[in-house]
Amino acid sequence: MRFSDLVHIELYKIFRKPRTYIAFAAITAIVSIIQLGFYADGKSFMQFGLQSLSDSFEIQGNILNGYLMTYLILQLLLVHVPLLIVLVSGDMISGEAAQGTLRLLLTKPVSRTTLLLGKFTATVIYSLLLLTWMAIWALGFSLVIFGADDMLIMKSEVVTQILSSDILWRYILAFGYAALAMTTVAALGFLLSIFAENSIGPIIATMSIIIVFTILNSLDLPFFNSIKYYLFTTHMLGWKGFFDVQLNEDNQQIVGSIENLPAIIYSALMLFGHILAYLFLSFLFFRKKDILS
Amino acid sequence: MGPFLFSPFTFAHMPDCILRTHSLSKSFGDFRAVQDLNIEVRPGEVYGFLGQNGAGKSTTLRMVLSLIRSSSGSIELFGKSLDKERKYILSRIGAVVEKPELYGYLSAYKNLEIFARMSGIRADRQLLMKTLNWVGLESRANDPVKVYSQGMKQRLGIAVALVHDPELIILDEPTNGLDPQGISDIRNMILDLSRNKGKTVIVSSHLLSEIEQVADSLLIIHKGKKAVEGKVVDLLRPEKSRVEWWVSDSDRALSVLHEKNLAAEFTRVDMTKFIAVMPAAATAEVNALLVQHQIEVQAIRSMNALEAYFLSLTSEHAVQ
C-alpha cells in the first residue's frame, strides 16, 4: 500500500472522531472571547498600560491593532495549545490498543515502522491544521476587526515599535516556529501512547511533563538554570524572538532585522532534536512491542 | 482486482506445508506460555487448535501473525521465514484475533474499505458489497459498527479477514460470545471456505465440539505444550471409546464382565459406577450381558478417546 494511502486513512480516522473538534472549538472560543473583550474595553486597557509612557511620549495611531491583538493572543494561547495537540497525539497508538484495532492493523502487510510513520505524519498534519486555524482566527480576524498599524511591544524596560510593513513575515515565521514546537509536543504524546493501553494515561502524562517543565522554566534557581536548556519547553517560546528587532544608532528599528537569529536557530534545532529523539524511541519500542491487547 | 470475492483456487504451486513452526517458545518473565511447539498445517485443510483458556493458543497464533515475538524457535509460512518475509506473508493471510474489534464510529462498509486498503488492495464498491453480502451484512452496510451485535461484529471481522482473498485464514476463538445461531453460521462459513473456496483455515477454540465439527486435523495444546495432534478421523476412531456405566451394583457387574474376558479395560469408580475403555460397538453386548445377569443399568455415557482425553485435562484443571 502507498504511504499516502496510509496517511489518508489515518487522517480520515482522526477527523471522524468528535474529540478532534474539541481543539478547534476551544481555539475558536478562546480567541473570540479575547477579541470581544478587547473590542469592548480595549481602549481603556491600553490607556492604562501606556500610562507611564504617555507622560514622556506622544503616542498616535491605532495602538490596539490586529497585529498587537495577535501577539497578545499568541502569548496567552501558545502555552495551552500543546494540551489540545496531545488530545489527538496521545490517542494515536493507545486509542487503537484500547479499541482492540491495533492487533488487526498489525496483521496487515504494513511494516510497523511504516504504520508508525503514517500515524505520526497524520498527527503532524492535524497539528498544522490546528495552527493554521489559529492563525486565520487570531491574525486574520484580528486584522479585520482591529485594522493594521505599527506594533508596540512592551517589555520590562524597552518598548519596541515594529513597522506594520515589517510584521507579516514575522508572523509567518512565528507560526512556522510554533508548528515545530507543536510537533515536538505531538512527538512526545506519540511516544507515550506506545506504552499505554488507553488514551487517558499518555494524554495526562504528556500534559504533566509540559506543566512540570514549564514550572521549572519559570524558577530562577541556579540548579534549574543548568537543566533549562535541555527542556523542550524552554525552546517552545522561541517564536517571540522574531519580534525582537535590531536598532540603528538613532534607536530606530532596522527593517527586516532580527535581534538574535542564532538563538532562534539554536532553539529550533533543539526542538528538532527532541522530535528526532522521541521518534527514534517510538520506533525502537514499537518495533519490539508484543501486542497483547 | 476483479469484482469477485474468491478467486479460483489451486494447490499446484503451494508448498506442502502452509505453516510450519519449529520448537516455537514464548516466555513472559518466568512464565512459559508456549514451549517447543512444532506445528504443520497443510494446504486446504481446516486445522483445529484446541486447548483450555490460557493453554497458549492465542499466544501461538499471535506469534504466527507477528503480533508477538517468539522467545525461541522459528515460523515458516508459505515456505518462507516470517522474520524475513513478514510483509509478503501477511498479504496472504486473513485473521480474526479473539474479539473482532473494529472502528465503532465508522460504518461496516468504511471499516471494510479501510482494511482492504491496509491489505494492499483498492476494493471497489462491488467487491466490498459482495464481501458484506457473503457474511450476511449487506443490508446493514451503512450502520455504524457500534450498534452491531457480537455476532454481526464477528461476521464483519471475517469479512475484513477475507476481503483481500487470502490463502490462509486464522480465526482465534471465532465463536466466543455467540448465540447458537451465530455459532452455526460461523461453522458453516468455515466449512464453505475450506470445502468450496479452497482456503486453508486455522481455527482455535476451547470447545472440542466446535473443533471436531469443522476440523480435518487438530492439535490439543496444554500448558503451552503439544498434547495430542493428528487427523480428526483418526482421533475420533471408535475402537477405544470411554464408556461410563451407572448400574445397581458395580462390583457384581465387573465380576460378570471379567468372567467373559471381553476386549476392554474396566475401572471401578464407586458402588454404582464403573468405566470401560472398549469399542463403542460392544456397548450393546455389555448392556445385554448385565441385564441378563439381572444387574440394572441406569445410565450409559459414551465418549470417544479425544473427548475423554480432553475431559481429563479439564478435570485436572478443575482440581488445580
- Whether residues B160 and A104 touch (CB distance < 8 A) is answered with yes
Pairing of strands B265-270, B217-222: unpaired
Q: Which of B97, B99, B105 sits opposite A107 (nearest CB)?
A: B97
Query: Has residue B319 got a pLDDT over 50?
Result: no
User: Is the confidence at residue A8, as pLDDT, over 50?
Assistant: yes
pLDDT of B182 reads 85
Taking residues B135-149, what's their average pLDDT?
93
Question: In sequence order, what are the residues at sequence separation of 6 or more whose Cβ sits closer than 8 angstroms to the Cβ of residue B281?
Answer: B238
Measured CA to CA, the distance from residue A39 to residue A31 in angstroms comes to 12
Query: In this predicted model, what pLDDT tens digit does every residue of A22-38 receive, in sequence order?
Result: 889 999 999 999 999 99
Mean pLDDT of chain B: 87
Q: What is the pLDDT of residue B203?
A: 95
Residues of chain B contacting A12 with CB distance shorter than 8 Å: 114
Q: What is the pLDDT of residue B307?
A: 73
pLDDT at B318: 43
CB atoms within 10 A of CB A253: 16
Q: What percent of chain A has pLDDT over 90?
A: 63
Instruction: Measure CB to CB from residue A1 to each of B66, B88, B120 and give the nearest one.
Output: B120
Nearest CB to A103; choose among B67, B120, B160: B67
Q: ipTM exceeding 0.85?
A: no
Is the dihedral angle over the CA atoms B276, B282, B283, B285 positive or is it negative?
negative
| A109 touching chain B per CB within 8 A | yes
For testing contact with chain A, the best of B103, B118, B154 (most A CBs within 10 A): B118
| pLDDT tens sequence across A42-81 | 888 777 777 777 677 777 778 889 999 999 999 887 778 8
Q: Which of B1, B67, B92, B112 best tests the A interface by mutation, with the highest count of A CBs <10 A?
A: B67
* Residue B316 confidence class, pLDDT cut points 50, 70, 90: low
- Round the CA-based radius of gyration of chain B to a whole number and report it: 23
Task: State yes or no: pLDDT of A193 exceeds 80.
Answer: yes
pLDDT, tens digit, 9 for 90 and up, residues B73-106:
999 999 999 999 999 999 999 999 888 889 999 9
Query: Are A99 and B103 within 8 A, CB to CB?
Result: yes
What pLDDT digit, counting tens, does each position of B26-46 carry?
999 999 999 999 999 999 999
Buried b (16+ CB within 10 A) or exposed e, B187-224: bebbeebbeebbbbbbbbbbebebbbbbbbbbbbbbbb
CB distance A106–B67 less than 8 Å? yes
Cβ-nearest to B114 among A9, A288, A290: A9
Q: What does the block give as the cell for B25? A: 517458545
DSSP annotation string for chain B? --S-SS-----TTS-S-SEEEEEEEEEETTEEEEEEEEEEE-TT-EEEEE--TTSSHHHHHHHHTTSS--SEEEEEETTEETTTSHHHHHTTEEEE-SS----TTSBHHHHHHHHHHHTT----HHHHHHHHHHTT-GGGTTSBGGG--HHHHHHHHHHHHHTT--SEEEEESTTTT--HHHHHHHHHHHHHHHHTT--EEEEEES-HHHHHHH-SEEEEEETTEEEEEEEHHHHT-GGGEEEEEEES-HHHHHHHHHHTT-SSEEEEEETTEEEEEE-GGGHHHHHHHHHHTT--EEEEEEE-HHHHHHHHHHHHHHH-
The mean predicted confidence, pLDDT, of chain A is 90
Min Cα–Cα distance to chain A from B133, Å: 21
**Cα dihedral angle (A196, A206, A239, A45), rounded to 10 degrees?**
140
A-chain CB neighbours of B67 within 8 Å are 103, 106-107, 290-291
3-state secondary structure of A65: coil
Q: What is the pLDDT of residues A92-140, one digit of tens each?
A: 999 999 988 999 999 999 999 999 999 999 999 999 999 999 999 999 9
B68 with A292: Cβ contact below 8 A: yes
Determine how many CB atoms are found less than 10 A away from the CB of residue B4. 11
Which residues of chain B lie closer than 8 angstroms to A119, CB-CB?
none
Q: What are phi and psi of A78, to 5 degrees?
A: -65, -15
Measured between beta carbons, which residues in chain A are less than 8 angstroms from residue B105? 16-17
Judge: A107–B90 Cβ closer than 8 Å, yes or no: yes
What residues of A are in contact with residue B65 (Cβ under 8 Å)? Answer: 106-107
| CB–CB contact B97 A290 (8 Å) | no
* pLDDT at position B9: 59
* Residues B216/B47, Cβ–Cβ less than 8 Å: yes
Q: How far A214 CA sits from the closest chain B CA (Å)?
A: 36
* Subunit contact B102:A101, Cβ cutoff 8 A: yes
Where are the extended beta strands (E) located within chain A? 151-154, 159-162
Confidence label for B138 from pLDDT (cuts 50, 70 and 90): very high
Of B101, B106, B119, the CB nearest to A100: B101
The residue assigned the cell 453386548 is B285
pTM of the model: 0.85
A197 lies within 8 A of chain B by CB: no
Q: Would you call A108 and B115 a contact, using CB atoms and an 8 Å cutoff?
A: yes
Confidence at B3, pLDDT banded by 50, 70, 90: very low
pLDDT digits (tens, 9 = 90+) for A156-180: 677 788 999 999 999 999 999 999 9
Residue B62 has pLDDT above 90, yes or no: yes
Residue B69: which pLDDT band, with cuts at 50, 70 and 90? very high
Higher pLDDT, B311 or B251: B251
- Taking CA–CA distances from B61, the nearest residue in chain A reads A107
Confirm if B162 and B134 have CB atoms less than 8 A apart: yes
Please give the average per-residue pLDDT across B239-263, as a whole number.
87
> Residue A289 corresponds to which cell in the numbers above?
512491542
More confident residue, A123 or A251: A123
Nearest-CA residue of chain A relative to B64? A107
Average pLDDT of the segment spanning B59-66: 95
Interface test with chain B among A2, A91, A104, A284, by most B beta carbons within 10 Å: A104
The confidence score (pLDDT) of residue B239 equals: 65
Indicate which of A9, A107, A285 best probes the interface with B, i.e. most B CBs within 10 Å of its own CB: A107
Within 8 A of B98 by CB-CB distance, chain A residues are 100, 103
Confirm or reject contact between A12 and chain B (CB < 8 A).
yes
Q: Does A100 reach chain B within 8 Å, measured CB to CB? A: yes
Least confident piece of the model among A266-270, B12-16, B261-265: B12-16
Q: What are phi and psi of A222, to 5 degrees?
A: -55, -40
